Structure 1
Amino acid sequence: MRQHGVPTAAGDVIRLDGVTRTYQTGAPPALANVSLAVAAGEALAVLGPSGSGKSTLLNLLAGLDKPTSGQVTVDGVRVDTLSEAASARYRRERIGMVFQFFNLLDDLTVLDNVLLPAQLAGMPSKRAQARATELLSYLRIDRHTRAYPGRLSGGERQRVAVARALMNRPPLLLADEPTGALDTASGHEVRNLLAQLNQDGQTIVLVTHDTTLAEACATRTIELTDGRIRRDTAAVAR
């Protein structure tokens, strides 16, 4: 399946130009003059110790934070210039987000969790239902459509979270420690899923401490230390 929302045009999905983020005057910056380009179809793993700037980078890409200086452009949008309302719209239309602890709504069924982004975006009901059905089948969780998240395994819940993230066909999927709350078997399942999504063309930025996850999923890895990119490495072909 190659029609789950992947941009087909060549070019950079992400461009950071001289991005610095400082939270306190006189304190070391969380990010320091970072420049980075990520092409359509890349899977970028961001590694580094706690406090290295990984979460700050993810928040800037998601429009949840703004740089102190520099420019952040995602899918042609200058994210650093957006108002609060425009940032929310940008996330709804252009960003899919997958979290360590799933962030599913336990009182909604799997189907209703997946449908939620489409409803917020005003997608017609018939089209939204068709899209959700397509994703649940693609991610092999269609048998759980009417189940509630609490009845699923960790790996299954993360698949639901990925389906929700892809619902509005985002050009960019952001994954924040997506295997951090999973057992070994479920973690392996999610690693395979992310690798397959990228092979099908989805652009991914993956923040993780897990080098095994990066090796399995990423086409490229950057390592952050003290807010700076210390290493930028292309992966050996999978």
Structure 2
Amino acid sequence: MMTVPLVELREVSRRYDGGPPALDGVSLTITAGEAVAILGPSGSGKSTLLNLVAGLDRPSSGAVTVDGVRVDELGEAGSARYRRAKIGMVFQFFNLLDDLTVADNVVLPAQLAGMARGNAQRRATELLGALGVDRHAGAYPGRLSGGERQRVAVARALMNRPSLLLADEPTGALDTASGEDVQQLLKDLHADGQTIVMVTHDLALAESCATRTVQLVDGRVAADTLERVR
């Protein structure tokens, strides 16, 4: 039986203001359960690829399909609904709201998706406990360490049980110890079945967490390698 890809890019290109392509004819498929690291030098198209999969940007040509949704054909409102239903996102600088408590930051995606408040609070409590930051539920993000804030950001990303977790340099703003902490967290999430696509310069993160690495150079796929199972 053929496996239907969770993510499929078909001949995807993205140009900005008539310049050279940020992505140039990229075709890529990712199946459910993979942990894929997107590697490459600055300007190679890594973040552009992630933004296209997230529906934050549109390709100049080609098709992007995620979990049966043609992401490139969505309007602004459709893209927002798609991200709430299908995508969890983790950013380098956390993107937590400093005027909301940790618990309220985590609950927010569920509220936007229309989940009942009691169910959302129970889900947030479950996630914060599983990620080891439940003692900070009533605190504000500014009082947490970088590693703790990234754990809260992961909890928020997982709130709506996304098909796909996207991580953009998730250890890039962390010290070595906190980076190793988040590395183990992503590894554990993948072991539990979460599909992950991460953009990173952190080779240790890629080597530890990824089942596959995709190397981009000048907007094209230069290598696509299955990693040894760890």
Query: Does 2:136 match 1:135?
Result: no
5+ residue gaps, structure 1, are: 1-9
Query: Does 2:60 match 1:60?
Result: no
Question: CA shift at 1:197, angstroms?
Answer: 0.4
Of 21, 27, 32 in structure 1, the residue corresponding to residue 14 of structure 2 is: 21
Count residues in correspondence: 228
Alignment of 1:121-132 (within 5 A): 121-132=113-124
Question: CA shift at 1:41, angstroms?
Answer: 0.6
User: C-alpha distance in 1, partners of 2:37/2:120?
Assistant: 31
* Letter aligned with residue 141 of structure 1: V
Question: CA shift at 1:23, angstroms?
Answer: 1.2
User: C-alpha distance in 1, partners of 2:37/2:4?
Assistant: 19
Question: CA shift at 1:133, angstroms?
Answer: 1.0
* Letter aligned with residue 143 of structure 2: R
Alignment of 1:164-175 (within 5 A): 164-175=156-167
Question: CA shift at 1:24, angstroms?
Answer: 2.8
Query: Does 2:168 match 1:176?
Result: yes
Counterpart for residue 119 of structure 1:
111
Structure 1 runs (4+) deviating above 2 angstroms are: none
Counterpart for residue 188 of structure 1:
180
Counterpart for residue 4 of structure 1:
none
Counterpart for residue 208 of structure 2:
216
User: C-alpha distance in 2, partners of 1:206/1:217?
Assistant: 10
User: C-alpha distance in 2, partners of 1:83/1:104?
Assistant: 26
The CA deviation string for residues 161-189 of structure 1, in whole angstroms up to 9 with x for no partner, is: 00000001110000000100000000000
TM-score (norm 2): 0.97
Identity between Structure 1 and Structure 2 (%): 71
* Letter aligned with residue 8 of structure 2: R
5+ residue gaps, structure 2, are: none
Of 108, 112, 118 in structure 1, the residue corresponding to residue 100 of structure 2 is: 108
User: C-alpha distance in 2, partners of 1:157/1:121?
Assistant: 23
Alignment of 1:5-84 (within 5 A): 11-25=4-18, 27-84=19-76
CA RMSD of aligned residues (A): 0.8
SS for the counterpart of 2:6 is strand
The CA deviation string for residues 174-231 of structure 1, in whole angstroms up to 9 with x for no partner, is: 0000100000000000000000000100000100111111011111000000000000
User: C-alpha distance in 1, partners of 2:229/2:195?
Assistant: 16
* Letter aligned with residue 105 of structure 1: L
SS for the counterpart of 1:12 is coil
